Amino acid sequence: MKRSNNPFKYRYHVFRGRLVQPFFWALCFLGPALDIFRVDMIHQRLVFLKQSLPFEFNTLFWLPVGFYGAVILIGIISFIWGRLFCGWTCPHNTLTEWTYTLRAMVGRHEKPRWMKLILKKYPLTRELMWIASPLLAIPLTFGLGFLLSFYVVPPDWALTQYASGHPHIALVFGNGLFLLIGLFLLYAGNDFCRTCCPYGLAQSISAYQESSPWKPMEIQFSGDVASQCRTCSACQIACPVDIDPRDGTLKGGLKVGQFDGCFNCGECIDACKFIHSFKKKPSLLSFKNPGFKPKKRGKVSEPV
């Protein structure tokens, strides 16, 4: 299903996938390489916006302040807009969506149509896909782990170490650890988000509890599946975590958060809008504004 890149028609699909996700992904992995922010443990310096600052209390003081400030900001976003951080800015989720093919090659996801056609015509390519998937995943995760190591060591120092042929054991150990974690996250995909992510678990036991008077922003379905949707499942196909937003059901996995882990990415809204555009009708899916939902109180009897 190909949607137009017109941001006025399909704003969630375009802004999230073409602008927001690439920006935050690049900021996470390329930030230290571009000297936006990194902690230089070799030369005992703090680099921020290409300015080198010494390891002193006045500079190190801002590390915990910035960290807890980011945590509070993410908490506020989660309280109002749900797991918006997961769907729009989380580097792991972005990488998960971009590497869908690698998991499909080993049976971790349903294979796309073009892959099924290849397997139908050339059945022996199934074994080749099982071999090719890790051969592509290993250098990818190693490269990303190498970029993350720039947060604590200078890029030129790390490159010199590998160029010498005898890299420091700590650098090799760190890159190897990043490689293993990266492979786990890559092949776990959104199953990690549903079952293991501390952020998702914390939100599932807080904002989405039935007893909570506050409900974050969520997807609402204003239609009838039997008469208006029938066999259409475009919204579920477009969903990165394979959720059916019409009834909130999920294909397996633990229930984590609203609609079993909805990321509020808006892809289902744009997909429904695309399908109904041929009928010149509005989308049946939309975002429901957050707010307090007061509990219904029973009728109070008059005192005797």
pLDDT digits (tens, 9 = 90+) for 51-98: 888 888 888 888 889 889 988 988 888 878 888 888 899 999 999 999
Rounded mean pLDDT of the chain? Answer: 83
Task: List alpha helices for the chain, DSSP H.
Answer: 11-14, 21-30, 57-60, 62-81, 84-88, 91-98, 100-105, 113-121, 125-148, 155-163, 169-188, 190-195, 198-204, 234-238, 267-277
Q: Is residue 69 domain-resident?
A: no
Q: Is residue 229 domain-resident?
A: yes
Q: Is residue 250 domain-resident?
A: yes
Q: Taking CA 22 as the corner, what is the angle to CA 258 and CA 113, rounded to the nearest 5 degrees?
A: 70
Mean of pLDDT values over 264-271 = 89
Q: Is residue 246 domain-resident?
A: yes
d(Cα 221, Cα 224) in Å, to the nearest integer? 8
d(Cα 263, Cα 241) in Å, to the nearest integer? 8
Q: Are 40 and 46 in contact (CB under 8 A)?
A: yes
Q: Is residue 225 domain-resident?
A: yes
Check whether 291 has a pLDDT greater than 70.
no
Looking at the structure of the chain, the number of domains it has is: 1
Mean of pLDDT values over 159-172 = 91
Q: What is the pLDDT of residue 206?
A: 60
Q: Which residue has the higher pLDDT, 212 or 294?
A: 212
Confidence of residue 183 (pLDDT cuts 50, 70, 90): very high
Q: What is the pLDDT of residue 297?
A: 45
Domain residues for the domain of 223 are 216-289
Tell whether the torsion through CA atoms of 120, 122, 123 and 128 is positive or negative: negative
Q: Is residue 253 domain-resident?
A: yes
Q: Is residue 45 domain-resident?
A: no
| Residue matched to tokens 């080993």 | 106
Q: What is the pLDDT of residue 298?
A: 46
Confidence of residue 181 (pLDDT cuts 50, 70, 90): very high
